[in-house]
């Protein structure tokens, strides 16, 4: 392969081809230039990505590559066979960042040099036959492909492939793509169904390579990669890994009725199911994706969009088993959910998938990263009790600078660095805005480009102005997702008159007309404060409410409620909640102020259970003003307790 290929495309993580059978395609050349997500992405670019590579150096990930490349002696550093993926995810994030920086005319010299340095290291570690995994190459484990249950070799390959695709798409350069292609060809020579002449008929218990192989097919046009992805997906559920749910092997995905087992594994697999449905057009795959997404959203998703109820085996748990303080909700699982939902949105055109993307982005995902981008949460509980002593360790409810198992931080980096590609789409006859951020998005109408710019302070306010920047002079449709949480909105022209020609009752508001350059419409989503209740089958939050505003879930933090903890706090729903703009707090948030009390429970002796209710009334408690902050901003001040779900009077 030559060092450079043609002009880099503006494609993101998903580039659909002419034969892809989806209702929607990602918008072309998207940008995010100001506002909420721009601020988070700036932290990502200026703090997370530069510091990330230093942390990978000190954690030993780069040492392991040098070890295998023969430029360093010593022993493998770290505890996991998948540590190479932290480097690959960082490379993916840095590559998306390079593409953005170049497009915006920013100086890319420093980041390019860093990326080149790491790519050279990865290439040097690759075996002659294409194999690459520093754990096994450095002599850990029983040897290549000996442990498909825990070895993570194909999982690592998947992240390498995704990094390589990102690098190629962003820079047009092929050094990393060449490494990925060589490994993919090696995998293709090793894995295949019985009778195919390949030595191993099996699959990696941690999916990831499947969705990556589909993207490699899209990038290279090589159908062997698509076939290999299909083979891996369908090999699940036939007992290669003892029919274990943890390994995504209990039932074939086409027969599965609910998501189960390890949440990240399940959702990366389902992302691949959606990818394959897009490329093959096979209805059974699309149906499985839709069925399992519905079951997940309806029965196994926390209010924050977080998934994975169990610490044990990082497992989804049972329907409606959605605990608070013991919620696992791994940051990676939120990312995997977003990846799966976005693929389903493209496949079907249905707004509900982007509703869940929005909820997960603003809450379960974003809480994983601190405001300064310097510390992280691996698990994202919905409560931390008074007197919590679980500090320290990867699965703590306290932020940590880095983890022994550091899968989440670079995963956040790559999603933030490519986020503009998850916001808008085209169906060939206009443009659909799925998420609201200030920027520019290009769709298509009958082969001609249509471009809109968006100007918004969302979610601080609900005002979203959309201006047509380019229009072919023939009718096309501008579609705005009406968020599932929104019950009142207005849609007006720049002069304040109501947009009358709007249709839609399926989560999309569509305005079809001959748009002129400069036309502006203003979509305002009422940001009323809401108290929400859970399905009665969610035992963990019975008798409680949660506060929401726009797409944001709120929580109480102990630091705002001196004089005691939060376990005894009760919200008085009879007193209206008030939103307060607080530019001075947590980088600028809208807080929600309410009234309540702190229980004063009489001494019940040594046994806290009895036939009659233990007295608990406002009269015996002490009045308290409650201040709720957006959940995504929690754990950025003094440590203490936190809760999303609040008992009510």
Active site residues: 314, 407
- Report in angstroms how near the CB of residue 157 gets to ligand FUB at its nearest: 13
Residue 405 site contact among Zn ion, ligand FUB, none (CB < 5 to 8 Å, cut-off depends on kind): ligand FUB
Q: How far apart are CA 316 and CA 266, in angstroms?
A: 9
Tokens of 96: 């998306």
Using CB under 5 A as the binding rule, the residues of this chain from 109 to 168 that contact Zn ion are none
Number of residues in contact with Zn ion, rule: CB under 5 A?
Answer: 4
Chain center to CA of 393? 23
Q: Whose structure tokens read 């170049």?
A: 102
Question: Considering the complex, what minimum distance in angstroms separates the CB of residue 82 from ligand FUB?
Answer: 5
- How far apart are CB 152 and ligand FUB at their closest, in Å? 6
* Residue among 314 and 355 whose Cβ is closer to ligand FUB: 314
What does 355 bind: ligand FUB, Zn ion, none (CB cut-off 5 to 8 Å by kind)?
none
Check binding of 335 to Zn ion (CB under 5 A).
no
CB of 40 to ligand FUB, least distance (A): 22
- Closest separation between CB of residue 88 and ligand FUB, Å? 12
Helix (H) or strand (E) holding 242: none
Q: Does position 525 bind Zn ion by CB under 5 A?
A: no
**Alpha carbon distance 39, 420 (integer Å):** 13
- Residue 82: name its binding partner from Zn ion, ligand FUB, none (Cβ under 5 to 8 Å by kind): ligand FUB
Question: How big is the site for ligand FUB, counted in residues (CB under 6 A)?
Answer: 8
Q: Does 332 bind ligand FUB (CB under 6 A)?
A: yes
Stretches 66-74, 407-415, 457-465, 513-521: which one binds Zn ion (CB under 5 A)?
407-415
Token readout for 485 is: 């949480």
For the bound state, the minimum distance from the C-beta of residue 602 to Zn ion, rounded and expressed in Å, comes to 44
Which residues, 214 to 273, sit near ligand FUB by CB under 6 A?
264
How far apart are the C-alpha atoms of 229 and 223, rounded to whole Å? 10
Query: Three-class SS of residue 415?
Result: helix
How many Å apart are CA 434 and CA 358, to the nearest integer? 8
Given the complex with ligand FUB, which of 275 and 330 has the nearer CB atom? 330
Interacting residues with ligand FUB between 374 and 433 (CB under 6 A): 405, 407
Least separation in angstroms between CB 147 and ligand FUB: 13
Under the criterion CB under 5 A, does residue 408 sit at the interface with Zn ion? Answer: yes
Q: What is the DSSP letter of 293?
A: H
The alpha carbon dihedral of 317, 321, 324, 326 has a sign of negative
Only one residue has tokens 């995997």, namely: 336
Instruction: Compute φ and ψ for 572, nearest 5 degrees.
Output: -95, 105
Pick one of Zn ion, ligand FUB, none as the site partner of residue 531 (Cβ within 5 to 8 A by kind): none
Strands 25-26 and 552-557: what pairing?
unpaired
The contact mask relative to ligand FUB for 63-82 (x = CB under 6 A, - = no) is -------------------x
Shortest distance, CB of residue 291 to Zn ion, whole angstroms?
A: 26
Q: Closest approach of Cβ 401 to ligand FUB, in Å? A: 18
Indicate left, alpha or beta for 333 from its phi (over 0: left) and psi (-120 to 50: alpha). Answer: alpha
Q: Which is nearer to Zn ion, 82 or 293 (CB)?
A: 82
Nearer to Zn ion, 264 or 424 (CB): 264
- Figure out which of the listed residues 182, 186, 206, 300 binds ligand FUB, where binding follows CB under 6 A: 206
Contacts of 97 (CB under 8 A, 6+ apart): 44, 45, 49, 111, 417
Positive or negative, the CA dihedral 124, 128, 134, 139 is negative
The span of 6-14, 80-88, 403-411, 500-508 binding Zn ion (CB under 5 A) equals 403-411
Give whichever of 87 and 332 is closer to ligand FUB, judged by the CB atom.
332
Looking at beta carbons, which residue is closest to Zn ion? 332
Q: State how far the Cα of 241 lies from the Cα of 220, in Å rounded to an integer.
A: 31
- In whole angstroms, how far apart are CA 436 and each of 440, 443, 548? 11, 16, 18
Q: How far apart are CA 203 and CA 223, in angstroms?
A: 19
Which of 32/408 has CB closer to Zn ion? 408
Q: 332, 416, 626, 628: which one contacts Zn ion (CB under 5 A)? A: 332
Beta bridge partners of 593: 578, 627
User: Which region, judged by CB under 5 A, interacts with Zn ion, from 15-23, 29-37, 399-407, 563-571?
Assistant: 399-407
Residue whose CB is less far from ligand FUB, 228 or 379: 379
| Three-class DSSP category at 416 | helix
Show the tokens assigned to 510.
Answer: 């569509």
407 contacts Zn ion (rule: CB under 5 A): yes
Among 153, 210, 215, 330, binds ligand FUB (CB under 6 A): 330
> Please, which residue, 311 or 510, has the CB nearer to ligand FUB?
311
Nearer to ligand FUB, 289 or 410 (CB): 410
Closest by Cα among 454, 264, 296, 458 to 362: 458
**In 437-518, which ranges are E strands?**
438-445, 448-456, 463-470, 476-481, 489-493, 502-503, 508-513
Q: Is the previous residue joined to 459 through a cis bond, with omega within 30 degrees of 0?
A: yes
Q: At closest approach, how far in Å is the CB of 541 from Zn ion?
A: 25
Name which of 122 and 407 has its Cβ closer to ligand FUB. Answer: 407
All residues at 6 or more sequence positions from 505 whose CB lies less than 8 Å from its CB, including other chains: none
Instruction: Select the residue interacting with ligand FUB from 86, 219, 279, 314 (CB under 6 A).
Output: 314
Binding track, positions 81-110, relative to ligand FUB; x by CB under 6 A:
-x----------------------------
Using CA of residue 559, residue 563, residue 567, residue 569, what is the dihedral sign?
negative
The Cα-based distances of 137 to 129, 146, 164, 188, 260 in angstroms read 12, 12, 21, 19, 32
- Residue 233 interface partner, choices Zn ion, ligand FUB, none, CB cut-off 5-8 Å depending on type: none
- Name the residue nearer to ligand FUB (CB basis): 11 or 408: 408
Contacts of 73 (CB under 8 A, 6+ apart): 67
Residue nearest to ligand FUB (CB): 264
Rounded alpha-carbon distances, angstroms, from residue 176 to 123, 163, 170, 185, 374:
7, 8, 12, 14, 28
3-class state of residue 433 by DSSP:
strand
Residues making contact with Zn ion (CB under 5 A): 330, 332, 407-408
Residues making contact with ligand FUB (CB under 6 A): 82, 206, 264, 314, 330, 332, 405, 407
């Amino acid at each position: 392969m030559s060092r450079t290929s043609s002009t880099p495309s503006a494609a993101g993580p998903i580039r659909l081809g002419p034969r892809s059978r989806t209702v929607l395609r990602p918008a072309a050349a998207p940008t995010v230039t100001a506002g909420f997500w721009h601020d988070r992405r700036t932290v990502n670019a200026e703090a997370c990505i530069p510091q990330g590579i230093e942390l990978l150096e000190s954690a030993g990930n780069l040492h392991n590559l040098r070890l295998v490349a023969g430029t360093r002696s010593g022993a493998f550093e770290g505890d996991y066979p998948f540590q190479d993926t932290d480097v690959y995810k960082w490379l993916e994030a840095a590559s998306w960042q390079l593409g953005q920086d170049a497009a915006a005319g920013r100086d890319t010299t420093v980041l390019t040099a860093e990326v080149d340095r790491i790519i050279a290291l990865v290439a040097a570690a690759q075996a002659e036959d294409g194999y690459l995994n520093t754990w096994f190459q450095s002599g850990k484990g029983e040897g290549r492909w000996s442990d498909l249950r825990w070895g993570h070799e194909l999982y690592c390959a998947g992240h390498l492939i995704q990094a390589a695709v990102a690098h190629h798409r962003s820079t047009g350069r092929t050094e990393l793509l060449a490494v990925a292609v060589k490994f993919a060809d090696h995998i293709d020579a090793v894995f295949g169904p019985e009778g195919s002449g390949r030595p191993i008929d099996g699959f990696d218990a941690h999916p990831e390579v499947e969705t990556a192989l589909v993207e490699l097919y899209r990038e290279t046009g090589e159908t062997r990669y698509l076939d290999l992805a299909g083979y891996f997906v369908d090999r699940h559920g036939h007992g290669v890994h003892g029919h274990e749910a943890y390994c995504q092997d209990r039932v074939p995905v086409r027969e599965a009725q609910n998501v189960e087992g390890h949440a990240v594994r399940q959702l990366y697999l389902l992302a691949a199911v959606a990818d394959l449905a897009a490329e093959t057009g096979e209805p059974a795959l699309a149906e499985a994706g839709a069925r399992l997404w519905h079951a997940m959203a309806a029965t196994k998703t926390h209010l924050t969009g977080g998934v994975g109820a169990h610490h044990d085996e990082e497992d989804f748990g049972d329907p409606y088993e959605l605990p608070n303080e013991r919620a696992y909700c791994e940051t990676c699982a939120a990312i995997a959910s977003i990846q799966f939902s976005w693929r389903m949105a493209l496949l079907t055109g249905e707004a509900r998938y982007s509703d869940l993307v929005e909820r997960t982005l603003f809450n379960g995902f974003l809480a994983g990263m601190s405001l300064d981008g310097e510390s992280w949460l691996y698990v994202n509980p919905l409560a931390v009790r008074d007197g919590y002593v679980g500090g320290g360790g990867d699965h703590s409810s306290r932020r940590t600078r880095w983890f022994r198992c550091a899968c989440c931080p670079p995963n956040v980096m790559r999603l933030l660095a490519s986020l503009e590609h998850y916001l808008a789409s085209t169906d060939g006859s206009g443009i659909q805005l799925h998420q609201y951020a200030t920027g520019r998005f290009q769709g298509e109408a009958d082969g001609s480009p249509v471009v809109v710019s968006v100007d918004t302070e969302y979610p601080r306010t609900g005002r979203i102005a959309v201006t047509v920047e380019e229009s072919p002079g023939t009718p096309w449709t501008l579609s705005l997702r009406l968020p599932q949480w929104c019950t009142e909105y207005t849609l007006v022209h720049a002069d304040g008159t109501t947009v009358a020609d709007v249709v839609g009752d399926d989560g999309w508001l569509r305005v079809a007309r001959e748009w002129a350059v400069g036309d502006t419409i203003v979509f305002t989503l009422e940001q009323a404060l809401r108290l929400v209740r859970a399905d009665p089958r969610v035992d963990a939050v019975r008798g409680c409410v949660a506060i929401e505003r726009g797409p944001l879930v709120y929580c109480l933090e102990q630091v705002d409620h001196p004089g005691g903890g939060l376990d005894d706090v009760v919200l008085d729903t009879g007193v209206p909640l008030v939103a307060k703009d607080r530019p001075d707090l947590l980088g600028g948030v809208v807080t929600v102020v309410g009234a309540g009390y702190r229980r004063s429970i009489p001494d019940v002796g040594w046994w806290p259970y009895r036939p009659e209710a233990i007295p608990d009334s406002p009269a015996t408690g002490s009045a308290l003003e409650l201040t709720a902050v957006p959940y995504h901003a929690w754990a950025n001040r003094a440590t203490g307790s936190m809760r999303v779900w609040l008992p009510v009077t």
